[in-house]
Structure 1
Amino acid sequence: MSHLSAHQKATEYFKGLRPGPPEPSGATVAYRERDELAYALSRVPMLTPRPLRIIAAGAGFGGIALARAIHAGQVPGASLTVFEKDAGVGGTWWENRYPGCACDVPAHIYQFSWAPNPTWSAFFAPQSEIRDYFKNVVDQHNLGQYIKLSHKVVGAKWNEDRQVWQVEVVRTDGRDLVISSQGVTEGQVGESWVEECDIFVNAGGFFNNWKWPKIPGREGFQGRMLHTAYWPTDADKGIEGKVVSIIGNGSSGVQVLPAVLPHVKKIYYHIRNPTWVTPRMAEKFAGPKGTTLKYSEEQKRTWSENPEEYLAYRKAIEKNLTERFFMYMDNSTAQKQARQACLDNLREALAAKPELLELLTPDYAVGCRRPTPGIGFLEALMSDKVEIVFGSIAEFTQTGIRTDNGYHHDSETIICATGFELSIAPRFPIIGRDNVDLQAAWKNKPESYLSLAAADMPNYFTILGPASPLAHGSIPTSIEFVVRYICKFAKKMQTENISSFCPKSRAVRAYQNHALAFLSRTAWASSCSSTYKNGTKTGELRSLHPGSRHQLYHLLTNPRYEDFEWTNLCPDPDLMFAFMGNGFTVKEEEGTENDFWFIEMDEAGKQIVPCTNEFRANGNLENHSTVNGDGILESHLAVNGNRST
């Protein structure tokens, strides 16, 4: 590991580009004794990128998108290492394998824009297919060279003196799934070591830190206890022909119930709070009543052979779902229409047991909790094999579950569909400037800058941090915009002699204030216990972006560099423009600056037509004007070179 500072590494690099004494006028002599780096820069053209090293934690959508950006040359000269704790890529889609696991966003927009897949089998893709998609993307785009599997990041610390991140890494034993909970070392092997980088990206995601429910007696239960986020390969032994209890009424519980129903003897389905099931919200493109549409081989072939037709289909789905953001505005017409559609669907599905309608109707706005299509869920609740148990659970017993009203039932297997630890805090310590620990700072009241940066964390980005578009539609598209934003900052570092950047504390604070003010008028602020409020009913909405995806994308497309503090590699403030180099650009020296882009006509431009007698005779110009000696605009016609007035 090198112990050079960022300034020293840059100096060595630029000196190496122009070894030996300079030619006459080949360097800025005034810089020779003032700053070795500034002098070295004065010998090379502007926009010469210096090497940067980027480290990312996590090979889900974020880490893979970053790998592709580097591979595609978006940051020339940058190197990247993506450390992934698991034995495969895909993040949450590698880890979650429970029966019925599928994406609740249409598959054809739940993908990278640069790796479209026209052969999805269904409108809502199953987990196994999404997992295979990740593997195919990495293989076919040659991104595996950037990814180190079975390597877990366990800490990161900023070195202010040397302007680098020091990232602590440890190998894991190759098991499929490595737990990322704070303090858990299961699966780690050997001693950790430190790798250094200029930019550190936490792409570990949000839905990967699973938890057992905090219910007394779990260790004493004598049957089989399963968790949807840590599904064992032999789980079917605890399900087939068994009496099963399911705890959790969120996305995973809604999916697992209809999937295991055909295999069990009986199910006790526990509902503490009802949730909105929204199949008809996807009805325009999905199957009848929002069921998942299965695509024919002919349809897949058509899209494969006609990329433009496939793109038009994807855009139509995207438009339909993106426009639903109006639904999240509290008491809006769109919110009322969504509620009525959900009620109609609920009433129709529960026709055989109308007494359940009131019990299964939420008292909060549609969208307060993540809406789920719930394919087959309501129908499963109507099965004679399903007994719905309302209310909270008091304890696990040796043989089953006791609710808070004293009701007890025996179960051979308990499935906990209780989700994840909801804190947005990093899974490992991240120590920034002045020893600020981001893990501690974000534990209770996380504050980010545009979801991707944090105060006191130089050269640091997070993907899906606080104030992310978690509920705004397709996540992969948003991640691509975040990655482009990261690349813009990396290129600015490379070519403008910058050692570090960090969002100003007041910018972070102001953004958070705006976010909380806006989100208070949305459906997300309704009284429900949700992921977005850290599992509470009344908590602050610190995990969601305060606006539409379109709004976020505009913000990310044009970075507000003024919201950041910048540190120059040359400590002398009078040398802040040393990056201008030898007065020329890289392309000029390479001889490739030959397109003369600066004289191209813009979209509003118009070619001028010569002013001839024939032109005027056709009625195209009645007169033209000049300014006389008194500065007055004077109209006249020119005939045969003479001015007539």
Structure 2
Amino acid sequence: MNHLDTSNHKSDNGSPASAFTLGDFCIDEYKPIKVIVIGAGISGLLAGIRFPQKIPNVELTTYEKSAGVGGTWYNNNYPGLACDNAAHSYQYSFEEKSDWTSFYASGPEIRQNLETLVDKYRLMRYIKLQHEVVHARYDVATGHWHLRIRRPNLDTGEPEEIEDSAQVLIMAIGMLSRWKWPDIEGLHDFKGELRHSAAFEPHPKTWQEVAEPWANKNVGVIGVGSSAIQIVSALQPKVGHLTNYSRGKTWLAPPFVRQIMVKMLERDGARGGLDDLHFSSEEKERLKNDPEFAREFRCAIEAEHNQKLAKKPWIAENLIPDFPVSCRRLTPGPGYLEALCSDNVDLVSAPIKRITEKGVETVDGKHQEMDVIICATGYDTSYQLPFQIIGKDGTDINAKWKPHPTSYLSVAVDGFPNMFMSLGPNSVISTGTLVPLIEYQIGYAVQATAKLQRERLKSIEVKAEAVRDFDEYLEAYFPKTVFADNCRSWYKVGKEEGRVVGLWPGSTLHGLRALMHPRWEDFNYERADPVKNGMYWLGDGQTYNEKTLTGDRAWYLRPPFLDVPPAVTFISFRTSSGLIQEAPGKNRTAIRTSRDALCKQGVIFACRPHFIGWKLRMSRACTFKREFCIDECEPIKVIVIGAGFSGLLAGIRFPQKIPNVQLTIYEKNARVGGTWYSNNYPGVACDNASHSYQFSFEEKSDWTSFYACGSEIHQHLEEIAEKYKLMRYIKLQHEVIHAQYDAPTGRWHVRIRRPNAKTGMLEDVEDSAQVLIGAFGVLSRWKWPDIEGLHDFKGELLHSAGFKPYPKTWQEIAEPWTDKKVGVIGAGSSAIQIVAALQPKVGHISIGRDSAADGPEDMLFTQEEIERLKNDPKLARDFRSTVESDFNSVHACTIRGTPQSLQFTEILQESMKRKLMKKPWIAEHLIPSYSAICRRLTPGPGYLEALCADNADFVHSPIKKITDRGIETVSGDFQELDVIICATGYDTSYQLPFPIIGKDGVDINEKWSPHPTSYLSIAVDGFPNMFMSLGPNSAVATGTLIPLIEYQIGYAVQATAKLQRERLKSIEVKAEAVQDFDDYIEVMHHNTPLCLPRNAAPGTKSGKTTAEWLAYGPARMVTLNALLPSNLLLGSMLHGMKALIYPRWEDYNYERADPIQNRLYWLGDGQTYNEKTLSGDRAWYLHPPYLDVPPVPEA
């Protein structure tokens, strides 16, 4: 059993933290944060786009040592400079430049494109040119990076040094920033023109102008790498004679994917076919004016780039080396071999002995006189940086990176908090385009910075053991690849043998997958505030827009938060080529098609894993090893208990988000719908606006009433089950009666009671799964009130939750009561609705004592309004958004003593008095003295009017006992009744109706005595792989509940995805995280009206409540009930959603499924499944939901 130690929080400077107090800030009231980026190349410019897009209240500064932006594309100006990636792919995923002049764009064209992006996104407001960072040091006490920058003085032009500081440092300097002269004897004795390929100044002359005097000169080019190949091709027709000193052998490849140009651009032989890499005017116009075609062209290029290198033949015989293809990076080299075959070009393979004053002497004794020598000998790729970066404890990163650099996923280094890198060690890829990986590296840095700001942290630092694990992964990966063979490459710092420090250990797509979901448990943290509690960042229970009544308060209804499930939600393999496709509203049909075609259609698939031969070995690995792709997900089974809102949503989201998932939903009732199937009492309706009482991605607009009746809601849920074909997962009349976690296997074993299919007799069956989702809510066990003599009553005794949904409607049940005397005990949500519904249908109705709230008078939509909302989607969306925004604007009323709370209470009091003018004495007993939000409000349309009816009596005296004929009150009054309805709610104690046994044999009911505890209402320590929807403290006092359910299920899906993705056996919340949330609740509820004394019935002490209404007094808000101020997520709905969006994985402990100690074992064999099988989408990062298009700032 391999437990991961993720205890990683400590207080500021290790000093004792103070006791927990509530933060006086909103959960999204973000402190200012400053970020410094070093470098304005592709990485630095992307940082300039993403940080302001993703991080609120950010101050960003980008320091660039050169006089222009573009990084290596600004500094390099050598002859023939071009990219070795296809031009249409060498741009950000969200950009769609389509008028490139060549398949491999020239350096000036790339630089011009980057300058265009700077203008488009107004990046010069962040960039400081000619500002060279010369020193950086981390200050542990403040959690800031302090930088020293050299720049020209504005007045004198002389160099001067200034200082700056920031919380976060982004290294975007790349590795092609320090060029070096070759170590050749006599190099600087040469009397002719000596140049380095990296030293062709970008201004004021072009390389063509520089080379103009060489028309009749002898030019020598030393090198056979990328720059040398491009220089030879470009200079050959422009010089008198050219000699290429190869200094070794290299593989040459034809320009990648020429066939794509021929096929998609519909070229023929007359157009040049495979050999013409330039776009004609017509082709450029088509690419520019047809965005869909341009996207398809780009996707085809990128998919082809990600195929195996075995697809790249055409190796020049005279340069074919002994080492394998791709031991060093392939260069397309268009025109290079043709140049070598020209009359004015010689290829010299003999090693250079020395440089003389007049030329080059080789070891074979030959001497060639030269007028110009160009050293195309590359850069210093040792990762020894050109300036000091001093981390914790005074460690210089250059010293740390000897004899070779180490990092965590190429983006972070232990001992250097709040510092992230793009194109750090082991981040370049050998095949494919580099830009997507840069995007995900910057994206990772943005996520880490957002966490730093969101959780009010001082520092985030990768653990040394995580760096060690990545180092071990590198050591295990590269010996199995061609990169370990003897070839001189900058991948190995220019050596034939040695450690690979330049390459990512896998493909581009593998790198993207590895960076997509940060493992926050691999980091240590320090809090900025000297507070012990890890939940301090939750703040005061509000979001900023609610507190200020500004901005969007229904943001979850819009992208990027709105997540609409696909039309096709699940595809599973029957055989290697046969598929079953299931689409809503369609019959199951067998589809014989390729996986690639399905992926291009955008369907979601679940594949069986395929494991192949060789084993990935690690120094600390056990004997059990398998090869697998990073996204080759093993099967995972999930059991959901309950088919109400939460369970149905789980049925939609798990197959949508989790590949290779087996899902079973057990529902004890005969139909889906949960409480909306089980409840059939008179007038049953929702206390949320109907248009908002649906999933965010649903747009039902033809509701018949503002507060929909129960039957209409139930019908809607059945339509959802049909639309998404959820019955394939749901087993009705299957009641879970026992669940137990098995620690050795990491599985939940569940016992289910069901009717035998043949005999109808009840029988028990068993099932098991890795993940258990509790979606049964708390409105599942109703209870009789504790009233003396209740069951001595000889008339008809009913409970509001006991009106069976079938075969009769409540109207049919109540039909015989036309002349009967009916008593309703209670004045909560169900009682209010029952009284309003029954009053006109019975002879006489008596209502027991308690409090109620007012509601709007006319709740029904006219047929004209229904049709208008149904036929105008925009109007329906706007209406829903307005309703939800309004609901999300009253949370201030729950804060004790606020003007809004006092004013709201006063408004309700006056409204209720006005409606009770016919029987004003009722107001004295009905209108409460406590705050209006002390218990959940019930709209109650028609209730007060019913109380004032002639056939209604309001009994304010508490019930003493029930006799065989009626009710006797403590005041001595007696009401003779024919029917008694107890609208007295549910058992909301969270004592579950069946045992759930966690680790060490602990029953959750025992753990939850005297009150339940949880982590963010969704997880419980000691109960691994179990997540809840509507767990303890998850209801909301204001707003609608459905969005919170969506985020709770979404959290459970994220945790399950992590379990599967990282090949874990278990994920279990830490006990200290549960304690922190419990402490937060204890402090938070004292800030609300929920802890104030409420009207107490006679015989009870002030500040306590009767057993009829609250399970635990005001000290614990734990029960969920539409009637009660309880189980509240002590904050707003939007606050709860914000708390759940970004899981804090460091709050969990983990066990691995494979007996491997290395935490990065899940990275697999360096491939993704589609690359390995050459199937499916291999450019998925160009499509939603991965494509993230930033907004363009207004001029």
Q: Residue 289 and residue 506 in structure 1: after superposition, are their counterparts in 2 closer, same or farther (change >3 A)?
A: farther
CA contact (8 A) 2:78 2:200 kept: yes
SS in 2 for 1:518: helix
**Structure 2: distance between partners of 1:448 and 1:141:** 31
Question: Which deviations, in whole Å up to 9, do the C-alpha atoms of 1:5-39 show, x marking residues without a partner?
Answer: xx99xxxxxxxxxxxxxxxxxxxxxx9x948xx76
1:122 aligned onto 2:102: yes
Q: Number of paired residues?
A: 563
1:195 aligned counterpart, secondary structure: strand
Deviation string for 1:548-571 (max 9, x for gaps)?
A: 222221221110111111111134
- The Cα shift of 1:115 comes to 2.4
Partner of 1:55: 36
Distance 1:268 1:306, change over 3 A: closer
Describe the superposition over 1:476-500 as per-residue Cα deviations: whole angstroms up to 9, x where unpaired.
2111111111111111111111000
More divergent stretch after superposition (77-86 vs 465-474): 465-474
Assess if the C-alpha contact under 8 Å between 2:222 and 2:377 holds in 1: yes
Bigger drift between 433-442 and 601-610 goes to: 601-610
Deviates more, 1:579-588 or 1:124-133: 579-588
* Equivalent in 378, 387, 404 of residue 428 of structure 1: 387
Distance apart, 1:528 and its partner CA: 0.6
- For residues 191-216 of structure 1, the C-alpha deviation after alignment (integer angstroms, 9 at most, x for no partner) is 31210000011111111211111112
Alignment check: 8 A CA contact 1:280 1:290 kept: no
Query: Does 2:471 correspond to 1:487?
Result: no
How far 1:602 moved relative to its partner? 4.7
Q: Equivalents in 1 of 2:523, 2:553: separation in Å?
A: 31
Q: 1:82 to 1:60 in 2, by over 3 A?
A: same
Deviation of the 1:227 alpha carbon: 1.4
- Structure 1 residue 228 and structure 2 residue 197: aligned? yes
How far is 1:284 from its partner?
2.1
Alignment match of 2:278 (pick from 294, 301, 305): 294
Moved more, 628-637 or 128-137: 628-637
Which of the residues 197, 220, 223 maps onto 1:248?
223
Change in CA separation of 1:590 and 1:304 when aligned onto 2, cut-off 3 Å? farther
Q: What is the match of residue 209 of structure 1?
A: 178
In structure 1, distance between residues paired with 2:459 and 2:24: 23
Q: Judging changes above 3 Å, is the alpha-carbon distance between structure 1 residues 507 and 639 closer, same or farther for their aligned structure 2 residues?
A: closer
3-state SS, counterpart of residue 178 of structure 2: coil
Q: Which residue of 2 aligns with 1:497?
A: 456
Query: Contact 1:498–1:568 (CA<8 Å) still a contact in 2?
Result: yes
Contact 1:427 1:439 in 2 (8 A): no
Counterparts of 1:225-374 in structure 2 under 5 Å?
225-232=194-201, 233=205, 235-279=210-254, 281-286=256-261, 291=275, 293-324=277-308, 327=309, 334=310, 338=312, 341-343=313-315, 346=316, 357=317, 359-374=318-333
Q: Deviations over 1:418-445 (max 9, x none)?
A: 1111212322100000111012222431
2:484 is aligned to 525
**Structure 1 pair 88/368, CA: closer, same or farther in 2 (3 Å)?**
same
Q: Structure 1 pair 292/274, CA: closer, same or farther in 2 (3 Å)?
A: farther
CA contact (8 A) 1:71 1:143 kept: no
Identify if the C-alpha distance between structure 1 residues 286 and 313 changes in structure 2 by more than 3 Å, giving closer, same or farther. Answer: closer
**Correspondence for 2:372 among 408, 413, 422:** 413
Contact 1:528 1:537 survives alignment (8 Å)? yes
- 1:342 aligned partner, one-letter code: W
| Cα shift readout 1:504-540 (whole Å, capped 9, x = no counterpart) | 1111011011012101111222211001000000011
Output the TM-score relative to the length of structure 2: 0.45
Aligned partners of 1:503, 1:294: CA distance in 2, in Å? 46
Q: TM-score, normalised by structure 1?
A: 0.81
- Three-state SS of the structure 1 residue aligned to 2:109 is helix
Structure 1 residue aligned with 2:159? 190
**Structure 1: how far apart are the matches of 2:81 and 2:273?**
20
Judging changes above 3 Å, is the alpha-carbon distance between structure 1 residues 605 and 390 closer, same or farther for their aligned structure 2 residues?
Answer: closer
Sort the Cα spacing of 1:581 and 1:264 in 2 relative to 1 into closer, same or farther, 3 A. Answer: same
The aligned counterpart of 1:84 is: 64
One-letter code aligned to 1:212: W
Residue 362 of structure 1 deviates from its aligned partner by 0.9
Counterpart selection for 2:536 from 572, 578, 600: 578
8 A Cα contact 2:87 2:102, kept in partner: yes
The DSSP-based 3-state class of the residue aligned with 1:155 is strand
Q: Is the 8 A contact 1:290 1:375 kept in 2?
A: no
Post-superposition CA distance 1:316-353 (Å, at most 9, x none) = 111111123xx3xxxxxx3xx54xx233xx2xxxxxxx
For 1:10-49, what aligned pairs fall within 5 Å after superposition? 34=18, 42-49=23-30
RMSD between aligned residues: 3.1
- Measured after TM superposition, the shift of residue 309 of structure 1 is 2.3
CA displacement, residues 280-311 of structure 1 (integer Å, 9 cap, x when unaligned):
54322246686452223333333333322221
Checking the alignment, whether the CA contact within 8 Å between 1:84 and 1:147 is kept in structure 2 is: yes
In the superposition, relative to structure 1, how do residues 631 and 379 fare at CA in structure 2: closer, same or farther (>3 Å)?
closer
Contact 1:245 1:270 in 2 (8 A): yes
Return the letter of the residue paired with 2:335: G
* Compared CA separation, residues 521 and 400, structure 1 to 2 (3 A): same
Which structure has the larger Rg?
A: 2
Question: Are 2:253 and 2:314, in contact at CA under 8 Å, matched by a contact in 1?
Answer: yes
Q: 1:252 to 1:314 in 2, by over 3 A?
A: same
Deviations 1:102-141 (A, max 9, x none): 1110000100122221111111101110010011010112
Q: Distance in 1 between matches of 2:193 and 2:117?
A: 37
2:429/2:507 contact within 8 Å kept:
no
Shift of 1:632: 4.2
Tell me if structure 2 keeps the 8 A contact 1:279–1:291: no
Counterparts of 2:227 and 2:148, CA distance in 1: 33
8 Å CA contact retained: 2:18, 2:530: no
Distance 1:80 1:460 in 2: 14
Q: CA–CA distance in 2 between the matches of 1:316 and 1:482? A: 24
SS at match of 2:480: coil
Distance 1:426 1:628, change over 3 A: closer
**What are the superposed Cα offsets for residues 142-172 of structure 1, whole Å, 9 maximum, x if unpaired?**
1111111111111100011111000110104
- Bigger RCO of structures 1 and 2 (CA < 8 A, at least 6 apart): 1
Query: Are residue 64 (structure 1) and residue 45 (structure 2) matched?
Result: yes
Query: What amino acid maps onto 2:537 in structure 1?
Result: F
SS in structure 2 of the partner of residue 245 of structure 1: strand
CA pair 289-362 structure 1, distance change in 2 beyond 3 A: farther
Structure 2 CA distance for aligned equivalents of residues 291 and 61 of structure 1 = 29
Report the CA distance between 1:625 and its aligned residue. Answer: 3.3
Hey, what's the Cα distance between the residues in 1 that align with 2:319 and 2:214?
Answer: 26
Q: Could you tell me which residue of structure 2 aligns to residue 559 of structure 1?
A: 518
Residues 1:109 and 2:78 aligned together: no
CA deviation string 1:210-245 (max 9, x = no partner): 111111212211111111111153532552210111
Q: Is the 8 A contact 1:429 1:438 kept in 2?
A: yes
